[in-house]
């Protein structure tokens, strides 16, 4: 395992509103959408690390760093987890899946826009990294 492609200080300096995820929310880039609701967009990762590797991004919250979240963001953050559970049920992933939020360079965050990885379809080890 090495560094993930695109993990650079410059990538994390991009304004969240200018990232490819924000462009997906605005419809400027078309991802392979698996699920969508009023709070989140769920699509396949272009560089999967498991047989099922989805990204869940918030539609109303362009937040680059989770530690910058405010109390007023709590509902939208909770909706991301609810969406993850909804997608896991929809895709019958209930035998096992992992949710991951990478935060910062050392955690291999490559896009400065809060997102959750939903990984499934293989056995995962512990500890995870």
Q: Residue 13 gets which letter from DSSP?
A: G
**Phi first, then psi: what are they for 116, rounded to 5°?**
-115, 130
> What's the rounded Cα separation, in Å, for the pair 93 and 54?
12
Residue 31 exposed, middle or buried by CB count within 10 Å (0-12, 13-18, 19+): middle
CA atoms within 13 A on the CB side of 3: 9
Q: Is 115 a catalytic residue?
A: yes
Q: Spot the catalytic one: 35, 39, 115, 117.
A: 115
Burial of 127 (0-12, 13-18, 19+ CB in 10 A): exposed
Q: How many residues does the chain have?
A: 129
Q: State the residue for tokens 């953050």.
A: 77
- Catalytic site residues? 115
């Amino acid at each position: 395992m090495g560094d993930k492609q695109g993990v650079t200080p410059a990538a994390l300096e991009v304004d969240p509103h200018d990232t490819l995820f924000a462009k997906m929310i605005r419809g400027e880039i078309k991802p392979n959408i698996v699920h969508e609701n009023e709070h989140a967009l769920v699509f396949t990762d272009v560089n999967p690390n498991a047989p099922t590797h989805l990204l869940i991004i918030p539609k109303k919250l362009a937040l680059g760093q989770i530690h910058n979240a405010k109390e007023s963001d709590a509902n939208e953050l909770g909706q991301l987890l609810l969406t993850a559970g909804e997608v896991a049920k929809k895709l019958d992933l209930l035998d096992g899946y992992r949710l991951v939020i990478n935060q910062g360079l050392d955690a291999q965050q490559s896009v400065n826009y809060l997102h959750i990885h939903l990984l499934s379809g293989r056995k995962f080890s512990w500890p995870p990294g």
